[in-house]
Structure 1
Amino acid sequence: MSWDWEKLKEQQKKGDMPPQIDEFVKKINDFKLPGGAFLVVLIIAALLSTTMVYTVKPGEVGVIQRFGKYIRTTQPGLHFKLPAGIELVKKVNIKLVRTEEFGSVSIAARETRFSQESSATLMLTGDLNVGLVPWIVQYRIEDPYNYLFKVRDVQRFLRDMSEATMRLVIGDRSIDEVISKRDEIAVEARELLQKELDQAETGVHIATIEMKKTDVPEAVQPSLNEVNQATQEKEQMIYQAKEDYNKAIPAAKGEADRTIKAAEGYALDRVNRAKGDAARFTSVFNEYIKAQDVTKRRLYLEALKEILPKMEQKYIIDSEQKNILPLLNLGKQNGAGK
């Protein structure tokens, strides 16, 4: 049954009310499509309606493409788009932290990939040693547009750049630093890797790089042990030499300072004594100039005062006395008579 469009238009021009709902439903029921065409139309309409509605979960964003071209990015929630074949939605989780492991693949789980991962972590250090360096890269998608459209295979690119960056960092360090300074290496590798990923516009943010236990291949383990032992002996000898140095040098410096101080004291004493003697001589000389006879007599008396107490026997005679020889034997005669 066809619609009476002319009558409907006349009613609208006259300002009459549109047909009642029951009349509208009756007309729809009376309208029949030949065969199963009505069912096909309903199925197509249902399919189109389901492809026009989509839901973005929390932590995700929806990237809409129209005939393959990027149009817009939608946030979490219920959204509408054009039917399938016209617009396509790709959901990207920007909160999920993804993990890439290097050198820790299980043989039982991935036998075909184990040799590749082992060779990837076999690295040459700056001191020409070989080390097994396993690590983990954790990252998340920061820019969905760059992640989807700027790089063809972001995961593969990330793995290749991670390996290249780690080899660059390890190649600048010795095997001892690679083993003992893993945190420092992880920080430096993260900064370099993030710089490369930003330049390539991958839309990836590196959350962290975790360095696992670094070791050496079994074939070179004995040689490394000998090197470590020799290094320890070398350090022990250096510490012993420093200890002896710290003991001997301060003692020698102390002895030298003491000798210098003693010499300075002796020199000061000698100078002061010389200055005192010179001053005393000068004062005596000045008095001698004033009264030469008195000074001579005083000097003579002072000299006798020092000499006479040291003499055992004293004979005082007159200068006019003659024949004094017998007097010198008086003591012996008295002693003989006893």
Structure 2
Amino acid sequence: MEGVVIFLIIAVVVIVVLIVLGALLFGGLRTSLMFTVHSREAVIVERFGKFRRVAQAGLNFKAPFIDNTTRPISLRVQQLEVNIESKTKDNVFVTVPVAVQYVIKEEMVVDAYYKLSNPEAQIRSYVFDTVRSALSGLELDQAFESKDDIAYSVEQTLSTRMADFGFSIINTLVQDISPDSRVRDSMNSINAAQRDRVAAQSLAEADKIKRVTQAEAEAESKRLQGEGVAAQRKAIALGIAEQYEMLRKVGIENTAEQLLLMTQYFDTMQDVARNGRSNVLYLPSNPGSVSSMGEEIRTAMLQAQAAHEADKDGEADEARISAEQLREQEQERAERKRAEAEHRSRDAQREAQRSADNTPPWAHPGSGNQG
């Protein structure tokens, strides 16, 4: 029984000794003999508060009770977010978030640890100073356009100032320039008004082009229509002239004009009846109206023929006189024909009266009873 108790006491003592040794060796205390450093980190070993050396990644040794280790110093790329509120040249307050990416140089870990008491605060101060100096000379629109220039200026300033302290500036990013919400609304309204003005100008220009194009098209259409009408009239005139010559060749000379006019008249009547949209058509009720219309057309044709002959001979006055003479001859001829028609009509009436007077009494019904 006593042996068991002695064994238990020895086991407990061994365990306690092992725990104490482990704490002394690997506990990270001042009395520890060994310590480890992770990758991309560095630890400074001090002896009685004085710099001794820089411990790199892996297993490291130090003198217990004499040497002390600092907190691990990261050698990775770190990012610091800085939000800066400043005023532009045109008195607009803006918020500028800046991201600074930096790293501690391995060969300058001692300077980075001992020279700066609070590196992040000092980096913030440099960023504030640089950004505010840049924005004070720029208007709001220029600040938006110069965002990359501001980032480059901040990066150059930090690289120059922080290089002496063991910090290397990798990149500086000006993420945004955010004015007040009311300023943004005003800017949006101005941009919307400008875009509306540009849109209105574009629509007006398009409408102008459309109207000009339509006017040019209408002018071209009317020109072509006039040429078509002129060609049509020319073809009709040539056709009438050819028909007139054909009638003259076959011996129909005196009544050729009347025949052509009547033919054109009835062709026109047929075309109006076929293609006309009106339901009512007023036409002359007697042949005399058609005859007078034919006289006028024939006179116009004679005048045109006389003018054409005058143009060929260079004697316009004589052509005008001959045209008037032709018209007078035509009028005399028409008067003569009208007088002959009236004379024949009166002769026919007298013959009818004479025949009625020479009728025997038995030819009149009821005459015998009266006797």
What TM-score, normalized by structure 2, do the two folds share?
0.42
- Higher relative contact order at CA 8 Å, sep ≥6: structure 1 or structure 2? 1
Please tell me whether Structure 1 or Structure 2 has the larger radius of gyration of its CA atoms. 2
Q: Which has the higher helix share?
A: 2
**TM-score under structure 1 length normalisation:** 0.46
